[in-house]
A and B are shown apart, each in its own frame.
Chain A
Amino acid sequence: MISPAVALLLCWMLVPLGLTLYFSFLRYNLLMPGMEQWTGWTNYYFFLTDPSFWDAIRNTLTLVIGVLIITIIGGVLLALLLDQEMWGRNIVRLLVIAPFFVMPTVSALVWKNMFMNPVNGLFAQLSGLLGLEPFDFFAHAPLSSIIAIVSWQWLPFATLILLTALQSLDREQLEASEMDGAGSINRLLFIVLPHLARAITVVILIQTIFLLSIFAEILVTTNGGPGTATTNLTFLVYAQSLLQFDVGGGSAGGVIAIVLANIVAIFLMRMIGRNLDA
């Protein structure tokens, strides 16, 4: 009985993948129609020897890890805060989760133009009022700026999951430990964090999936530049397929990206997958 549903699912996923695989062995440039021919591994060779390739790998990892660190630490702190009694807690929660609903293109446009623009952006105006030089975010800290924007978008997601997990924490256990004289740091380290381990695992897994293919934020803000400073693997494949219109090369890049993604997935499973089985 298992087969029909799962098989349908697999087919559904395999068709585009198979086509990409096929194209990756073709010499196929959109701008030169009628020239398609089998080229074997040439596209792979050119993609892997592209000087931007290793930059892209490094940027991809920096982006993913940077955002994960910020959202998890921030998420734990926010979850702890939102778990406290306060007036208007529901409204505060609404404010905190709002960025999650914002389209990535919109948030990138808003951050880029209205906040980080070095002449008319709000940050530049504020530093102007304080008599400071405006900081040119996308020229001097391009990747960090993108990490900041993406973190803003994903912080609510981490907070929500961690908060849900936190609320299932056994209050009596917490109170008992308080009676025993455990300080708040100790309680955090030995009771709260272990309890959250599973939720943190989930946050890492889900966010990694989305963060590996971050695209809109880069396209809108820096276009992968300056140079290759913010070119991640997704953007490199984009540049290959839709700026150079080299479909063959882009497809090879896509295949390489999915192989790498699977390595990351296996790695994730080995490292933290056990948490999910428990």
Chain B
Amino acid sequence: MGDYATPSRGLFRSAAIGLVAASAFGSLAAAEELTIATVNNSDMIVMQKLSPQWEAATGHTLNWVVLEENVLRQRVTTDIATNGGQFDIITIGAYEAPIWGAAGWLKQLDDLGEGYDYDDIYESVRNGLSANGNLYAVPFYAESSFTFYRKDLFEAAGIEMPDQITYAQLAEYAKKLHDPDNGVYGTCQRGKAGWGENMAFVGPMVNTFGGRWFDMDWNPQLDTQPWKDAVNYYVDLMNSYGPPGASSNGHNENRALFADGKCATWVDATSAAGFIYNPNESTVADKTDFTAAPINVTDKGAGWFWAWALAIPNSSGKEAAAKSFLEWSTSKDYVKLVGETEGWVAAPPGTRMSTYANEMYVSAAPFAQTVEASILAANPADATLEPVPYTGVQFVAIPEFQGIGTYVGNQISAALAGTISVDEALANSQSFAVREMTKAGYIK
């Protein structure tokens, strides 16, 4: 086993600046060099930018590995599953945390100190990152999904947004507002294949259409009527009123399109609201409004639940220093630090009640209440109309889901691009899922 514990040169720095952070740090004993892997989302980039303050206060140093979500996930999974020990801090999601925690790959994080205030973190978020009652990752930001829409365009077309939009209404409004000649598409939704991309939109949609991934005996249900209705609706909607190239647009692409004023409606992560409302990043900051995610036959599981969280692999030999960083970067004080240096609208959302109790944040972020309500409404333990043996809104919390979700996402993306029909896509998906579940021993 390679253990790279080397004394670092950062010691001298710790003497220099000591009063940056308000919280007390665990041990200042040895200065360590930590390797941190994270995803290249804007909130993480802010964290990277602010982290020298932590380095200065503790004397530890950070080596950053910043990667795109898919690459990051693959890279981190390979390392942690082989006990490779290349990372001291990793960024994982609500899908990985409970599975990896249960597998014994992560350090428990129940002891980050008095000042950390676990009770301030939303219970649903804490539960989503725990296994067997132990917390294995601390949330950096959490999100649900909801509907972004352009109030200027809605007003001009004389449409009033109802309290709870339905998928039928979404299609109707998209049709009215679709105006490609003037560079506005009726709706932008994720089409890029991936269980964390298009399936994050399709999954909750299937939930509200009354569908589910598996029945109580783990038999895949991908060729049932709710799936057919939902995917047909989705393909029709996107082909009629979506932007060109929808099948390669993921969250980031759609975010750029919406911020550039090219979409009338968009159902996506609540965490993107801060970006859309930021006039430095977005041309529609003052023209956007929001409402809950659309529903169809049921309102169960209509909005997804996701959190990006930080965790420490069991293979890391620098637990104390890594915990000190986790404590700093997910604390109340960090939220305040971002608010003061980057503007309150950019503060990491969705994790702490204190953020939403803060006048500064609420007045800077008009979407705060809607976001909070969406996150509280998302319930991974009860997200489908019919009973299921799994938890998760837009994912199924079993290790096999990554493979199945990736494949199904790919098939639906092909149906969207028109290379195969919706029925073919779902039939292929069903037989793939049956194969995988048989291989893994769920189906006897």
Direct A–B contact present (CB less than 8 angstroms): yes
A: residues with CB less than 8 A from B are 29-33, 46, 51, 117-120, 124, 133-134, 136, 138-140, 142, 222-229, 239, 242-246
**B417 contact set on A, CB distance < 8 A:** 139-140, 142, 225-227, 229
Contact with A along B242-268 (1 / 0, CB 8 A): 011111100000001100001000000
Chain B: minimal CB distance from A177 (Å): 51
Within 8 A of A (CB), among B37-74: 70, 74
Do the beta carbons of B77 and A31 come within 8 Å of each other? Answer: yes
Q: What would 13 A/B residue contacts be, using CB atoms closer than 8 Å?
A: A29-B440, A30-B77, A30-B81, A30-B82, A31-B77, A31-B402, A51-B428, A118-B243, A119-B262, A224-B410, A225-B193, A227-B425, A229-B414
Tell me, yes or no, whether B9 is within 8 Å of chain A by CB. no
**B248 contact set on A, CB distance < 8 A:** 136, 138-139, 222
Chain A: minimal CB distance from B441 (Å): 10
Bound together, the chains give a CA A138 to CA B416 distance in angstroms of: 12
Contact with A along B69-101 (1 / 0, CB 8 A): 010001001100110000000000000000100
B: residues with CB less than 8 A from A are 70, 74, 77-78, 81-82, 99, 103, 192-194, 243-248, 256-257, 262, 399-400, 402-403, 406, 410-411, 413-420, 425, 428, 431-432, 435-436, 439-440
**B256 contact set on A, CB distance < 8 A:** 120
**B193 contact set on A, CB distance < 8 A:** 223, 225-226
Chain B: minimal CB distance from A86 (Å): 40
**A222 contact set on B, CB distance < 8 A:** 248
**A243 contact set on B, CB distance < 8 A:** 74, 402-403, 406
Bound together, the chains give a CA A139 to CA B400 distance in angstroms of: 28
Chain B: minimal CB distance from A69 (Å): 23
**B99 contact set on A, CB distance < 8 A:** 31
Contact of A138 among B245, B425, B436 (CB under 8 A): B245
Excluding A223-B410, A226-B417, A226-B419, 6 further A-B contacts by CB distance (< 8 Å) are: A118-B243, A223-B193, A226-B247, A227-B419, A229-B417, A242-B77
Given the known A-B contacts A225-B410, A226-B410, A239-B406, are A245 and B244 also in contact in the complex, defined by CB atoms under 8 Å?
no
Do the beta carbons of B413 and A245 come within 8 Å of each other? Answer: no
**A134 contact set on B, CB distance < 8 A:** 244-245
**B81 contact set on A, CB distance < 8 A:** 30-31, 33, 245
Chain B: minimal CB distance from A181 (Å): 54
**B246 contact set on A, CB distance < 8 A:** 139
Do the beta carbons of A119 and B244 come within 8 Å of each other? Answer: yes
Do the beta carbons of A118 and B244 come within 8 Å of each other? Answer: yes
Bound together, the chains give a CA A29 to CA B400 distance in angstroms of: 10
Chain B: minimal CB distance from A36 (Å): 12
Bound together, the chains give a CA A10 to CA B81 distance in angstroms of: 30
**B257 contact set on A, CB distance < 8 A:** 119
**A246 contact set on B, CB distance < 8 A:** 403
Do the beta carbons of B413 and A226 come within 8 Å of each other? Answer: yes
Identify which of B247, B406, B440 gathers the most chain A CB atoms within 10 Å of its CB.
Answer: B247
Do the beta carbons of B406 and A225 come within 8 Å of each other? Answer: no
Chain B: minimal CB distance from A250 (Å): 11
**B414 contact set on A, CB distance < 8 A:** 225-229
Bound together, the chains give a CA A30 to CA B192 distance in angstroms of: 25
**A226 contact set on B, CB distance < 8 A:** 193, 247, 410, 413-414, 416-417, 419
